[in-house]
Amino acid sequence: MKPAHIEQFFATLQAANPNPQTELEYSSVFELLAAVLLSAQATDVGVNKATRKLFAVANTPQKMLALGLAGLEEHIKTIGLFRSKARHLMETCRMLTEQHGGVVPAQREALEALPGVGRKTANVVLNVAFGQPTMAVDTHLFRLGNRTGLALGKTPLAVELKLLKRIPPAYLVDAHHWLILHGRYVCQARKPLCWQCSVAAVCDYRAKTPAPE
């Protein structure tokens, strides 16, 4: 994708959605961290359904620890891989309490040191909670980077670094949200809705499936 097309690509997405937001529900940085940790290989809808009840009783690391592992598992048992996620979240709460005074750190190294928090999760927290221009490459961003020609790469890290390099600075903070939403609802994995796509004119991809009658 040419630089001029990249500018048009994001200008179009920005015009349609000037203030994009994550679809995960949260009211604090800790709730965001917990929700993102729980969202791996799960839908935001499913995570939100569980965390609405969970955060009503445990919305801080201290309260989560007081809830206990069994209590946490009971609240998130509808989420995939809930047992391992519960262990990771409990240990994360312990580390936040003992090493960070119960406050979620704003540094990548400290975030990635927390159990269950990898680069993608850290990027989401740094971007959404702290406004840093990070790029959390999930399945949607990886697909869009390669399919559109925006950022070709064989690994999530390769796509992430190219996105950060190629996206104009004015769009970087919100680009992660625009790409996720576009991938989730328009540029879908199996059948991209190219005939409904607002940025099809600047996309390198050419859909093989014709628009429906």
57-101 confidence digits (pLDDT tens): 999 999 999 999 999 999 999 998 999 999 999 999 999 999 999
- Domain residue ranges of the chain, discontinuous segments joined by +: 3-19+135-202, 29-128
Q: Give the residue-averaged pLDDT of 1-26.
A: 95
Q: Give the residue-averaged pLDDT of 175-199.
A: 94
Report residue 212 as tokens: 């429906």
Q: Give the residue-averaged pLDDT of 185-198.
A: 93
Quick one: what percent of the chain has pLDDT higher than 70?
96
- Say whether domain 3-19+135-202 belongs to CATH 3.40.50.1400: no
What does the pLDDT read at residue 126?
97
* CA angle (151, 152, 154) in 5-degree steps: 130
What does the pLDDT read at residue 207?
45
Q: Active-site residues: which are they?
A: 120, 138
CATH code of 29-128, in short, is 1.10.340.30
CA atoms within 13 A on the CB side of 209: 10
